[in-house]
Structure 1
Amino acid sequence: MQSPLPPKIRNFLWLLVALLATGCSTTKFLKDDQEFLVKNRIEIVSPVKIKKKRNLQNELATLYKQKPNENFFFFIPKEWFYYRLQDTVGKSRFSRGWKRWQMRQFGEEPSIFDPERAEGTERAMQFYLQNKGYFKAKVESFTEYQDRRKNQKVVVTYRVEPRQRYLISDVSFSSSDTTIDRLLQEIKPNTVLEPGSPVDVSLYDQEVKRVTDYLRNQGYAYFIRNFVSGLEGDSSNNQVDLSLEVLPPPNDSVHRVYRIGNVYIYPQYNPSEPTENRIDSIGPGIYFISTDGEYGVKPKTLINALYFKKGDLYRQIDFDRTNRALGNLGIFRFVTIKDERDPNNQELLNYRIFLTPNKRFEIGTDIEVNTSNSPFVGRRLLGVAGNLSFRHRNLFKGAELFVGNAETGLDLNLSNLRNLSQLVTTLDIRLQTNLYYPKFVDYIHLWRGLSRIGFLRDGFYEEVKEKASTRIGLSYNYIEQFDFTKNQEGRDTTLQLYVINSFNASFGYDFRLSNRNRFLINHVGIDYLSPNTTTHFDTLILNKNEFLRRSFDKQLFTSLLFRDFNFSYNSLPNRFGESFSLIT
C-alpha cells in the first residue's frame, strides 16, 4: 500500500520521531554520580501578606546560580546536540568546523546538578532579601527527582521565608563640617528615606546620590559618594531609626568650596601634535589657544555653549551642560574638559577644554532596486533609484549643519526591452536640503508664552532652549509619468501623461529630550503643488473622475503657527531584554 504522504514530509516525520527518541535518552551520557537539573522553583512562605509578591518572586529568580538546559524547537534538548557533537576524532577540517557551528547555534553545555551552586543561590537570595529590609529572612533548598525510578533528573525548590520587613521610623543627618551639616538639614525634608518606607539598600543608594549631587552643585567639586557613611540604625518592633553622616575628607576637617577660574579652550586640538602656544583673550577669564589664531569656528559659538564663567560657584550641572552642549554642536569628534586648581588661588578651578575637530564634509551614496505595479502598464515594473547625500558641518563657522539629498528614480517596463524609447514609465527627481542652526530661535515668542501661562511643565522651556536646534528645510520634487500606446498607423508610441512639480519650505525645531526621546516640530510650512496634465491623460482618466481631476489642480498650503509634530520614543530594555518604540 502506497503512503498518502509525500516522500519529503514522510522523511521529516521519521527524523522528528528519531530526534524525540534520542532527545529522551540524553541521560545515557550521565555518569553514575551525575543528575540533570531540569527545573528550579521558588516557594514563598509568609504568615503576612507580601506586597508585590510576584515581582519579588521574579527578582529572586534572577539569582539562580544554575539553570536548566533549554530546548531547541520546543522539544529537542540542547544538551543532546552537545553530546552528539563532541566526537571530532578523525574528522576533516570541514566536518570539525561544521560541528563547531552547530554547537554554537544549537548546543549547550549540560546542566549537571551541583549542590554547591544551589547553596550559593540560597546565600544570594538571603543576601538580596536582607538588602530589601527582610533582615531575618531564611532560604532553604530541597531537591526531588522528576523520575523516581531512575533518579537522574532533579527539581530544586527554594523555600523562601522573608519574615517581617523592617521599616524606617525616622532618619537623621549629621556632619562634623558645620557648613555641610547646615546644607544637610536644608535638604532633609526631601529625603527618599521616608518614614514607613522599607529599609532598602536601593533607597539608600538613591539618597546617597541625591546628597552627592546636591553638594556637587553647591561648589563641592571633589565631593564623592564615599564621603557618605553607611546607614546605621537602632531598631525596635521592626521599626528602625536611621542615621546618615557625611565624613570629612582625608587630612582635613572640612570640605572645600570652589569657584570657576580661567577657562582655556583648544578649538583645534590634536593629541598627536604639540600643544598650541598662542593665547588670545576672548572675554573675561576665557582664553583661546591655537597656533596661528585660526579657530575653525566662531568664538561666540563656543562661548554660548559654556554654562559657567569666571567667578561662578562650581556646579556639576553646569559642567555637564557645557560638556553636552559642546558635543551637540556636532563639529567636534571629541570633547574633553579637565579641571585644575589655580596655582595662585586654591579656591579657584581653572578649566582646559580640548576640542578635537570632526570631519567637515561627508558624502554618501545609496542605490535601491524594487518592484511596483502600474495601473497604466498593467504589469509589475522594476524600480531603480540612486541617492546622493551631502553633509557640511560648520557651514558658516557657527556649527551650522547643512544636509542635502538628491535622489533620482525610474520605473522600468521590462517587457519593452527591445524598444528602449518605451522603457521608462516614470521619472522621479527629488531635491531636499535642511539647515540646522545650533540654537533655539523662539518663533514669535510662542514657547515663552506657553510657558508663562502654564501650558508647559516647569523647566520644559529652559530645557528646549538648551537642547533644541532650529531647522530650515527646502525641497523640490519632479514627477513625470508616461504611457505607451499605438498610434493610428499601429506603431508603438510614447505619450506623456502628466508632470507634477512640488515645492516645500518649512521652519521648525529638532529637539532631543534624551537619547530615547525626540521631538520634530514644524511651525511654518509652505507647500505648492503644480500639476500639468496632457489631453491624453485628461481623456483617459480625469474626465471620468471628477474627484481625481480636482486633485490635479494647482494647490497651495500654508501654515504660520503650527504645521506638524512628530515624536519618537525608545524604551530601555527590561530585565528580559525586551524594549519597545513609539512613533507618532
Structure 2
Amino acid sequence: MKNKFNIYCKYFLASGVTVAVISCSNTKFLKDGQMLYTGAEVKIESDSLTKKEKSELQSALEENLTPKPNSTFLGLRPKLYAYNTTEEPKKEKGLKYWLKYKFGEEPVLLGDVDREFNKDIIVNYSENKGYFNAKAKYDTVSKNKKAQVIYTLNPGARYLISNVNFPQDSTLINTEIQNLKTKTLLKSGNPFDLDVIKNERQRIDDGLKDKGFYYFSPDNIIVQADSTVTKEPKVELIVKLKDNTPKLATEQFTIDKVVVFPNYNLRDAKKGKYNIPMNPDSLKGYEYNDIYVVDPDKKFKPRIFDRALYFNKGDIYNRKDHNLSLNRLISLGVFKFVKNDFVVSDSLNHKFDAYYVLTPRELQSLRLEALGRTNSANYAGSELNLNWTQRNFFRGAEQFKASVYGAFDVQMGGPADAENIFRAGTNVQLSIPRIVAPFRFNSSSAFVPRTNIQLGYEFQNRTTLYTLNTFNASFGYQWKENVRKEHELKVIDISLIDPANVTQKYMDKFPQNPYLERVVEQQLIFGPTYSYTYSTTMLPRKNTFYYKGMLDLAGNITGLVTGANAKEGKEKTIFGVPFSQYAKIENDIRFYHKFNEKTSFASRLIAGVAIPYGNSEHIPFSRQFFVGGSNSIRAFRARTLGPGSYDPRPQRAEGFVFDQSGDVKLELNAEYRANLYKFLNVAAFVDAGNIWLINDDIDDKGVNTRPGGKFSKEFLSEIAVGAGVGLRLDFSILVLRLDLAMPLRVPYYEKGDRWTFDRINFGDSSWRKDNLILNIAIGYPF
C-alpha cells in the first residue's frame, strides 16, 4: 500500500511540473515588448446594488468585451501551445498545417485589445440597462509577459419606470394598440431596460399582425423616455406610433382570393409561368371550398389544402393562421419547398390575394442500405435494407413505405458452433395525414395529425438454438399539440411469435434455466399502447429537458371477460395460443445543460416496470427490459447484466451466454461532453443501473434458477456502476462514437465487496481483456 502511495505521489508531482512548464512555455515565444493577453475583469463600485445585481451586470459586461483571450483547459492553453511549437508548414494541408492553423490558436496579445472601445461598450451597455450616469475607467496589470485589463464601473443609480403612457386617438390601429396595452411588458417600478423596450415593440407588432395589419413593423413604434418628470432617478415612458409611419402599415387587410399551385418547379419559374401577381381566373384551375387550385394534372386531392390552410375568403389577415398554414403544408411531408405571397388586389377596400406556391418532393424513392456492425457481445455482422417510399399514395399526401431486409451476426472468437444469428423480414406502413375515426378530431396545431397502419413479418434463426417467426400489425394515431408535445396512441398493437426448429442443445438448458423455455413459447400479444413526449431540446436554451413516457396494456379486457387466471391453472387461449396479459410503464427523462458553445452536460434517467397478471405469470421475453451495451451501461456487454445480483459466470464457464431480461429497470447515465476541434468531440461518462424480476424463476423442482434476481428492498445494493471516456466524430449527418468503459461496481460480487477500485490494474493484460469494454456505435447514446 505504501509503494502505491509513493507511486501516486510521483505521478502528482510529475503532473504538477508538467502543468507549470507548459503554462510558462507559451510566453517564451513572444517578441520583445509583446505581452500575452489573459483576459479582462470588470469591477463594479456601487453601494446601492445587491450582490446578485452586481454579479449579473458583471457577467453581462465581461461577455461583451473583445477580444477573447486564448482558450484554456484545466488552466493550460494547449491550443496556443500547439500553435507556438509547430513549425511553419510548407503546404496548406497535412498534420503540421492542421496542428498550427486548425487546432492551434494564434496568440492574443495586449496590443490587440482596444481598451477605449471596451470602456465605451461598458458605459453604453450600462446606460441601456438604466444606469444613465455610468462612468468607467480601466487599468492594465502585467507580470511575466502576461497582461490582464481591469475595468472599473461606477454605474450610479439605476433609473426606474415611473409611468407608462399609451396616447389615444380615433384611428383603428390605435384602438387595437389600446387593446394590447393591458399586457405590456413595461411595468411601473421596474428598471429601465432597452431589451425589454425592444421586446415590447415586438409584442405590439405581433398583436397587430394578428389583427390584419400585415404591413406593420416594430420600427413603426417609438418609445420616448422622459427623465425630467421628477428629481428622483425615474423615467416616464411614452409608447406611440412614429409620425412618419407609412399609411399602408396602418391599414387592416382581409383575404380576397386563396390560390394554390401544388405542382410548381424551377423550370416553370425560368419560363415565367405562374409569376406572382397574376390573374387566377386566367389559369387552368378549379375552385374547391373558396380555394382556387391550379393543378392541371390533378396530382393532389384538393381537400388536403382545405384541411391545411387556415385562411378563408373574407377573413381578416392573422399571422398565427399564416404561420400555421405554412407549417401544416410542410408537415404533410410531400412538399420540398413552400412559398407564400400576399398581393394587394383591392387597395381601396384593403384586400389582398394569398398565393401558395408548392414544390413537391420526388413522390417515389427507392433506397438501398448496406450496413456493417459490431457490438459489445462479440458479434459482427452486416445488414441489407431495401426501402421504397411513395409520398402521395392515394393523391392525398398519404405516405406508403415498404421495406425488405436481411441481416446476419456472427459471434467472433467463440466456439465452432457459436450462436450465429440470421434475420430477414418485411414491413409496410401507410401514414394518412388526418385522423381516420368515427369521431371528429379538430386540431389547431401546426403539425398535421396522422393515422398510421403497419404490418410486418420477421424470420429469425439462431443457428444452433431455434427459429422464431414474428408477425405484427398495428393501427393508431400520432399527433403533436405543438413543437414540444407529441402523442402516439396505437389503438391495437398485435404481435404473434411462433417458434420452430428448437434444437435439443437448447432444450437441454430448460431444467436449469426455465426462462429460456419462455423465449420459444408461442406468444400472442395484443392491446393498446400510448406514449407521450415532451421536449425542449430544439429550443436555444442553456437548460433543456426531454421526457418520454410509455404505457403498454396487453390482453386486459380479454383477460377480464374470460376470467383468465394462469396461477390457478385457468389459462385462456385464442386459436390455441395463450395470450399475454400485463401492464407495463416506462419513463425516459433527460436533462441537458450547456456551459458554453463547446462544453455541455447530459444526463438520463430510465425507470420502468412491467407486471404480469391474469392470463400471464411472466412478461413475454420480447417485452422485457434489458441493460448493458453501447446505449446503456457501457461497462457491461449488451444484455449480459442482471437481473439483480444474479451471477452469470457459471453460464459463461459452460460457454453458454444468453440475454438477461427483467421486469423492473432503473438506469442513470451522466456525460460531460466537450468539443476539441470542429467534428472532434470527447466525453467522460458514468453509467449506473440494473434490471430485476417481479417473480423468482422457479423450476419444476422448486429451485430458484436465478437467485438474487427478484426486486427487493436491497435493490440499491445491486446497482451496477461503470465509467469511461469516449471519442465522437460528429459529421452532422453521421456521428461515429467510440466509448471505452470499465466496471466500477459489479452487483454479482459478494455483498460488501462490489466496488472494484482496488482491483483496477491497467498494466495487467488479462484485467484489460475482462474489464475494458470498447463500444462502437452510430449516434449519441442519449
State the TM bucket, normalised to the shorter chain. 0.7 to 0.9
Which SS does the other structure have where 1:296 is aligned?
coil
CA shift for structure 1 position 223: 0.9
Which structure ranks higher in relative contact order (CA pairs < 8 Å, sequence separation ≥ 6)? Answer: 1
Equivalence for 2:38: 38
Equivalence for 1:365: 368
Q: Does 1:426 align with 2:421?
A: yes
Using a 3 Å threshold, how does the CA distance of structure 1 residues 441 and 243 change in structure 2: closer, same or farther? farther
CA shift for structure 1 position 213: 1.0
Using a 3 Å threshold, how does the CA distance of structure 1 residues 384 and 61 change in structure 2: closer, same or farther? same
- 2-side partners of 1:251 and 1:568: how far apart? 42
Q: Where in structure 2 are the equivalents of 1:449-528 lying within 5 Å?
A: 462-464=443-445, 467-483=448-464, 497-512=465-480, 518-528=486-496
- 2-side partners of 1:272 and 1:123: how far apart? 53
Equivalence for 1:540: 508
Deviations 1:546-573 (A, max 9, x none): 343244322222224x444455552535
Using a 3 Å threshold, how does the CA distance of structure 1 residues 283 and 425 change in structure 2: closer, same or farther? closer
Q: Does 1:163 align with 2:175?
A: no
Q: 2:239 aligns with which of 229, 239, 244?
A: 244
Contact 2:43–2:150 (CA under 8 A) maintained in structure 1: yes
Q: Which amino acid aligns with 2:120?
A: R
Equivalence for 1:396: 394
Structure 2, gaps ≥5 residues long: 1-12, 275-281, 543-594, 607-782
Equivalence for 1:68: 69
Using a 3 Å threshold, how does the CA distance of structure 1 residues 294 and 249 change in structure 2: closer, same or farther? farther
Contact 2:140–2:148 (CA under 8 A) maintained in structure 1: yes
Equivalence for 1:439: 434
Which SS does the other structure have where 2:369 is aligned?
strand
Contact 1:282–1:288 (CA under 8 A) maintained in structure 2: yes
- 2-side partners of 1:336 and 1:581: how far apart? 40
Contact 2:473–2:494 (CA under 8 A) maintained in structure 1: yes
- 2-side partners of 1:209 and 1:118: how far apart? 34
- 1-side partners of 2:478 and 2:63: how far apart? 40
Which SS does the other structure have where 2:130 is aligned?
coil
Q: 1:282 aligns with which of 262, 282, 287?
A: 287
Q: Does 1:342 align with 2:345?
A: yes
Contact 1:519–1:567 (CA under 8 A) maintained in structure 2: no
User: Which structure shows the higher helix fraction?
Assistant: 1
Equivalence for 1:219: 212
Using a 3 Å threshold, how does the CA distance of structure 1 residues 541 and 318 change in structure 2: closer, same or farther? same
Deviations 1:142-192 (A, max 9, x none): 112234xxxx32121122233322222221113555222222222211111
Which SS does the other structure have where 1:229 is aligned?
strand
Using a 3 Å threshold, how does the CA distance of structure 1 residues 219 and 186 change in structure 2: closer, same or farther? same
Equivalence for 2:710: none
Deviations 1:469-521 (A, max 9, x none): 232222222212222xxxxxxxxxxxxx3222222222333345555665444
- 1-side partners of 2:128 and 2:439: how far apart? 54
Q: Does 1:135 align with 2:132?
A: yes
Aligned-residue sequence identity (percent) comes to 27
Equivalence for 1:325: 328
CA shift for structure 1 position 359: 0.7
Contact 2:431–2:450 (CA under 8 A) maintained in structure 1: yes
CA shift for structure 1 position 416: 11
Equivalence for 1:458: none
CA shift for structure 1 position 323: 1.1
- 2-side partners of 1:583 and 1:463: how far apart? 33
CA shift for structure 1 position 401: 1.3
Q: Which amino acid aligns with 1:369?
A: G
- 2-side partners of 1:205 and 1:416: how far apart? 68
- 1-side partners of 2:604 and 2:445: how far apart? 21
Equivalence for 2:60: 59
Contact 2:132–2:159 (CA under 8 A) maintained in structure 1: yes
Equivalence for 1:408: 406
Equivalence for 2:48: 48
Using a 3 Å threshold, how does the CA distance of structure 1 residues 23 and 106 change in structure 2: closer, same or farther? farther
Using a 3 Å threshold, how does the CA distance of structure 1 residues 563 and 283 change in structure 2: closer, same or farther? closer
- 2-side partners of 1:198 and 1:269: how far apart? 52
Q: Single out whichever of 302-311 and 523-532 deviates more from structure 2.
A: 523-532
Deviations 1:101-139 (A, max 9, x none): 221244322222138612211211221122122222222
Contact 2:140–2:149 (CA under 8 A) maintained in structure 1: yes
Q: 1:351 aligns with which of 340, 350, 354?
A: 354
Contact 1:409–1:427 (CA under 8 A) maintained in structure 2: yes
Q: 1:233 aligns with which of 222, 226, 235?
A: 226
Equivalence for 1:120: 117
Using a 3 Å threshold, how does the CA distance of structure 1 residues 581 and 169 change in structure 2: closer, same or farther? farther
Equivalence for 1:264: 259
Q: Which amino acid aligns with 1:510?
A: Q
Which SS does the other structure have where 1:66 is aligned?
coil
Equivalence for 1:576: 596
Q: Does 1:187 align with 2:180?
A: yes
Contact 1:372–1:383 (CA under 8 A) maintained in structure 2: no
Q: Where in structure 2 are the equivalents of 1:16-35 lying within 5 Å?
A: 21=21, 24-35=24-35
Which SS does the other structure have where 1:214 is aligned?
helix
Contact 1:395–1:401 (CA under 8 A) maintained in structure 2: yes
Q: Does 1:307 align with 2:307?
A: no
- 1-side partners of 2:151 and 2:437: how far apart? 61
CA shift for structure 1 position 432: 2.6
CA shift for structure 1 position 330: 1.4
- 2-side partners of 1:515 and 1:254: how far apart? 31
**TM-score after normalising by structure 1:** 0.80
- 1-side partners of 2:369 and 2:16: how far apart? 45
Q: Does 1:529 align with 2:529?
A: no
Q: Which amino acid aligns with 1:281?
A: Y
Deviations 1:338-396 (A, max 9, x none): 1111158552101221111111122222223334688xxxxx44322222222211111
Which SS does the other structure have where 2:199 is aligned?
helix
- 2-side partners of 1:442 and 1:42: how far apart? 64
Using a 3 Å threshold, how does the CA distance of structure 1 residues 434 and 164 change in structure 2: closer, same or farther? farther
